[in-house]
Structure 1
Amino acid sequence: MEETELCFPQLNTSCVKPKRPLSDTVLIYMILSFISLLTAALNLLVIISISHFKQLHTPTNSLILSLAVSDFFVGFILLFQSMFIDSCWYIGDLMCVVYYGLDYIVCYSSVGTMVLISIDRYVAICDPLHYSIRVTQKRVQVCVCLCWICSLFGLVLLKDNLKQPGQYNSCVGECVIILSKSERVANLIWGFILPITVIVVLYMRVFVVAVSQARAMRSHIVTVTVQGSRKVTAKKSELKAARTLGVVVGVFIICFCPYYCVSLADQETLFNISSAAFLVCLFYFNSCLNPLIYAFFYPWFRKCIKVIVTLQILKSGSSDTNIL
């Protein structure tokens, strides 16, 4: 008989490690590690850039900073996913619930900040004359704090699991939490349906306004020479608006939809370990893409990376560097 391998060999009640090809295990480890390190590194660059350079201390960048902080912790938490590859949790039942609680908090704060960013862009483009009055640094800071406070809703979902950690474990070394049907529906609404609805509605409005402004530019053309250049500019504006809308909404749906659809299903009907790991990686990969979508599109970020990589950031007075 082939000898089974236990998570805790000294305990008879220990969980048994699943047997799978070594290639699958190595592949999952590589994917999780790559996403984790890349997510942490990209978001850390955003955090350092916005925190250090004074020119970047604006309301919009404060939202991007909040997004980067939450996504940075997503990259950190993703390291714990490696324990689930062997289906062995080695750091106790309480830490299992704490892990899931922190996971919910940072994911909710990340999604919530995305909503705040969409609101900020909506006001900036659809009501630019009143933007500086409505969107101030103090108001943005209050909204960010409220966003993080609302993200504590994740702990409410785990209230039954917090009362008695490990109550749903069938063996020692297992990390299992169970949400009721209503809790899973609440998670779906709070973490996916409500945010994506707000984002789609606001960005559709932004897209319509951007297209109408581009068409207005073409209608006021008076010379043939200027007409050609402005047609090109208007066309680029339309394409840019459409591309931004597609990236923001499309990436969010692609990364989040599969995970939340499976979360509504019974846990007994989940896919095999490889499929489940893929859904988890896809879900967390959104936090890796956020700095690319919201930061790499800004020219100042490339300048900040150059200053940081070349260690010019260590020079005195570097915070006053002209980045914009």
Structure 2
Amino acid sequence: MEHSELLDIVRRPLSPDTRLEVPASRAEYERVEEILEREESKYPQLWYDSVRSVAIVVAPPTPLRAGMAGGLLSMISDEVKRNSGISSEIARGLRIESDSETTMNNTTRASDGALLYWEGNRATLMIVVEVAVSQSYDSMRAAISWSVCALRCSLGLAMCIREESRGRRPPRRFHASLDEANAAVEEARDDFYRQLIHHPYGPLERDGVTWFGRVSLVVLETFRRQDEHCTPETLLEPSKSFTLVENGEYVAQNISPNLQEVVLGDCIPTHLLNNQQMEATPVNFFQREWFETQFRGSMVRTAILRVWRKTSYAQPVLR
């Protein structure tokens, strides 16, 4: 094929969580997407926004982004299935899916995670989740708005995580063997967990290098269609917004267990529920202990991933 800026970009090494927007025609997007499909690699992913005529190149998620998206959906699903008014037959229809690409009106996108309800061979999209770590809020809001409006799902959950700058780039560290490298990384992991005792939301530092910056803000927002006729390109405003972490500290005020927003009717098609009272029953999925455990563990895994990316070791000599 002729020279393609889009193909050049997908061939570059991309840092985890990177999302790049590249002006491209739908035809160019399809040509490059075909090349990626032939190579059968999961990342980078390629999406397309037909409204703005841009291709979106998506790098693999960090453990923090993937962990929080999957964790939110698992907590919601588990709480729904524990509800005494939900039969085991109905509970079996509720499933979690990640990285599910959808194409509609020449726009192709995927959410970080989704909660679907299966009846026979037919799936209904109920809740979509997007998590952005130190990325453009506008880009995240556009993604969640498209999923809610174009795919007609009940609710969108978006988590915005702001990590402060880590400063200078860490140097590469060399080790004599894989065992030595593994030992060094395990020492770093233990050190990071000890640091969380005093700094629950970072920074995580070692040998003068910041491997995860302090978390300055975590906001969880819900998005609902403004009306039944929202077009796919509608940019929604959040229906509720909850600040969970601010300036490196958990914000406990006014955060109810169900965030005052998620209900059974968001998770299961209403014709399967008994009545309107059941549809409006809150899903009490959000607990501080769960959030802190999940978030901090995902922070450490992300920091360790960064350590490994800067770790080299000698390969054994084959004789």
For Structure 1 versus Structure 2, the TM-score category normalised by the shorter chain is under 0.3
Q: Greater strand percent: which structure?
A: 2
TM-score, L = length of structure 2: 0.27
Greater gyration radius: 1
TM-score, L = length of structure 1: 0.27
Q: Greater helix percent: which structure?
A: 1
